[in-house]
Chain A
Amino acid sequence: MLLITCPWCGPRDESEFSYGGEADIVRPPEPEAIDDAAWADYVFMRTNTRGLHREQWVHAHGCRRWFKAERDTVTYDIRATWPMNEEAP
């Protein structure tokens, strides 16, 4: 089980959290101005990084707040966690 540090509640068991997938995916500001391939890239395509991966978690059974994390997808080590609206430390 991972030990995840919620930016507000501190280190807690993984079972308190839900996973929110890849972070920093920005919705195209003008969806009607882009073609199907660009829209598909936004909706479906993922970097699926092997190594340090920026992702989203929510402290579902705690403070219920979302945050970002940088985690190694091979060793599962979590380098850092930080609130959604802040820059990575």
Chain B
Amino acid sequence: MQSYSIFSLARHALSGHKNWRPAWRAATPRRRYKVIIVGGGGHGLATAYYLAKVHGITDVAVLEKGWIGGGNTGRNTTIVRSNYLWDGSAALYEKSLKLWEGLSQDINYNVMYSQRGVLNLGHNLQDMRDIRRRVNANRLNGIDGEVLDTAGVKQRVPFINTSADARYPVLGASWQPRAGIARHDAVAWGYARAADDLGVDIIENCEVTGVRREHGRVVGVDTTHGEIGADRVGVVVAGHAGVLADMAGFRLPLESHPLQALVSEPLKPMLDTVVMSNAVHVYVSQSDKGELVIGAGIDAYNGYGNRGSFQTMEHFLTALIELYPIFSRLRMLRHWGGIVDTSPDASPIIGKTPVDGLYFNVGWGTGGFKATPGSGWVFAHTLATGEPHSINAPFSLERFHSGALVDEHGAAAVAH
């Protein structure tokens, strides 16, 4: 692999940047692999990378129906945090956050993880009680967190509307200093490049059209490039998990919804942290280009159309203006939607399925990006050993039979 560094940049500058090699090979699929990963988003590529790096399994193909970085990995609002209430979620997202902290060095690709902290605002007394409980739970789980009062919020974000007569007054916030944002495209490209370097085949424009089974065991997949055999198949998709489960003959407790986001015109640096609000429901951060990145909740109806309804946008923009009157004349440059698979308890499903050798890592809902490294790490363990890691054991499909849900609705610091 050509190493990326200040020296390689200088060397290539001398030749006019004409000799950079592609970051990964355009692999043609072989007839058979030990492990096939369906879905070349961040989670799938991270899974492939950790399979090769941690478990030494390099006979791996990642099948992506579009292009790398073209799905939800490139559509999210890039927030990374781990301040979840329940022990199971805290372990999963904190594992991920620890991996984020060393990721750029690990994969020799600058993912621009900026630990600028995340504020989760509280607007009434119950919000503040919930925030105290969550911060205490976080600290017991070894996750950093502080409770701020109104003055503490104002100190970090001076232009936030903290007047006492606001419709939803800002009474305080939880503050996770190690949280932040990362460059989402770089995460996909960096993992793709690092996995490719370890021998993983990344096959773009290759859609899976069927899951081949014999005697209750997976033996491969049908694709637009023909049949490909495999000992184990890991499905890591967003937006179409139900479609893949249908191919394999079982049902999932998931519903697909559009999730929209907006980017504003670029501004001078003014917001050096991430602010999320549950009650008025909007979250905002400022990208390195100066654009405000703004998101909120899903559209209520089921949809696969990569777009949502106008009034959802209107809802989170009125919330934005309520909290930040200074943004009232800001123009929006881009708007888009992605499709997220929401689960009944707002937690993902990572583990075994009714089909032997077939594993699913799906249902991340609105919050999958932050979990990219940890999700890949635990799912690689699951694919390599055939059993879930202790971190993803609580996130089995069986929890919907046993009733042991990981209920992160609201508990996750934002509404889902």
Closest chain A residue to B239 by CB distance?
A50
With A14-B311, A36-B401, A36-B402 in contact, do A46 and B242 touch (Cβ < 8 Å)? yes
- B302 contacts chain A at the CB level, 8 A cutoff: yes
- B310 contacts chain A at the CB level, 8 A cutoff: yes
- A19 contacts chain B at the CB level, 8 A cutoff: yes
Contact B252–A45 (Cβ < 8 Å): yes
What are the residues of chain A within 8 A of B240 when measuring CB–CB?
A: 50
Taken residue by residue from 222 to 251, chain B's Cβ proximity to chain A (1 for < 8 Å, 0 otherwise) reads as 000000000000000000101100000001
With A19-B300, A73-B303 in contact, do A37 and B242 touch (Cβ < 8 Å)? no
Q: What is the total number of residues of chain B having a CB less than 8 Å from a CB of chain A?
A: 23
With A21-B255, A45-B252 in contact, do A50 and B300 touch (Cβ < 8 Å)? no
What are the residues of chain A within 8 A of B300 when measuring CB–CB?
A: 18-19
Contact A50–B400 (Cβ < 8 Å): no
Contact B302–A73 (Cβ < 8 Å): yes
Which of these, A13, A41, A53, A55, contacts B251 with CB under 8 Å?
A41
A26 CB to closest chain B CB (Å) equals: 15
Contact B255–A1 (Cβ < 8 Å): no
What are the residues of chain B within 8 A of A47 when measuring CB–CB?
A: 242, 251
Q: In the complex, which residues 135-174 of chain B have their Cβ closer than 8 Å to any Cβ of chain A?
A: none
> In the docked arrangement, what's the CA distance between A36 and B344, Å?
16
Closest chain A residue to B343 by CB distance?
A44
Contact A55–B302 (Cβ < 8 Å): yes
Contact B311–A53 (Cβ < 8 Å): no
- A76 contacts chain B at the CB level, 8 A cutoff: yes
A42 CB to closest chain B CB (Å) equals: 11
> In the docked arrangement, what's the CA distance between A68 and B309, Å?
20
- B305 contacts chain A at the CB level, 8 A cutoff: yes
Contact A50–B310 (Cβ < 8 Å): no
Closest chain B residue to A57 by CB distance?
B301
Taken residue by residue from 375 to 416, chain B's Cβ proximity to chain A (1 for < 8 Å, 0 otherwise) reads as 000000000000000000000000011100000000000000
What are the residues of chain A within 8 A of B243 when measuring CB–CB?
A: 50
Contact A46–B251 (Cβ < 8 Å): yes
Which of these, A13, A41, A46, A76, contacts B254 with CB under 8 Å?
A46
Which of these, B251, B304, B311, B344, contacts A50 with CB under 8 Å?
B304
- A74 contacts chain B at the CB level, 8 A cutoff: yes
> In the docked arrangement, what's the CA distance between A25 and B255, Å?
14
- B347 contacts chain A at the CB level, 8 A cutoff: no
> In the docked arrangement, what's the CA distance between A43 and B242, Å?
16
> In the docked arrangement, what's the CA distance between A22 and B253, Å?
12
A86 CB to closest chain B CB (Å) equals: 22
Which 3 pairs show the lowest CB-CB distances between chains A and B? A48-B242, A44-B253, A19-B300
What are the residues of chain A within 8 A of B242 when measuring CB–CB?
A: 46-48, 50
> In the docked arrangement, what's the CA distance between A28 and B303, Å?
27
> In the docked arrangement, what's the CA distance between A49 and B251, Å?
11
8 contacts between A and B (CB under 8 A): A1-B311, A18-B300, A46-B255, A47-B251, A48-B242, A48-B302, A48-B341, A75-B305
Contact A44–B344 (Cβ < 8 Å): yes
> In the docked arrangement, what's the CA distance between A15 and B400, Å?
32
- B256 contacts chain A at the CB level, 8 A cutoff: yes
Contact A46–B253 (Cβ < 8 Å): yes
- In the complex, besides A46-B253, A48-B256, A75-B305, 7 extra interface pairs with C-beta distance below 8 angstroms are A1-B309, A2-B301, A36-B402, A47-B251, A48-B302, A48-B341, A50-B243
What are the residues of chain B within 8 A of A53 when measuring CB–CB?
A: 302
Which of these, B303, B311, B401, contacts A37 with CB under 8 Å?
B401
> In the docked arrangement, what's the CA distance between A31 and B242, Å?
26
> In the docked arrangement, what's the CA distance between A19 and B305, Å?
17
Contact A73–B304 (Cβ < 8 Å): yes
B302 CB to closest chain A CB (Å) equals: 5
What are the residues of chain A within 8 A of B305 when measuring CB–CB?
A: 73-76
> In the docked arrangement, what's the CA distance between A38 and B253, Å?
13
Which of these, B251, B254, B304, B311, contacts A15 with CB under 8 Å?
B311
> In the docked arrangement, what's the CA distance between A53 and B240, Å?
15
Contact A48–B301 (Cβ < 8 Å): no
Q: In the complex, which residues 254-307 of chain B have their Cβ closer than 8 Å to any Cβ of chain A?
A: 254-256, 300-305
Contact B251–A45 (Cβ < 8 Å): yes
- A33 contacts chain B at the CB level, 8 A cutoff: no
Contact B400–A55 (Cβ < 8 Å): no
Taken residue by residue from 54 to 73, chain A's Cβ proximity to chain B (1 for < 8 Å, 0 otherwise) reads as 01000000000000000101
> In the docked arrangement, what's the CA distance between A46 and B246, Å?
11
Closest chain B residue to A13 by CB distance?
B311
B353 CB to closest chain A CB (Å) equals: 13
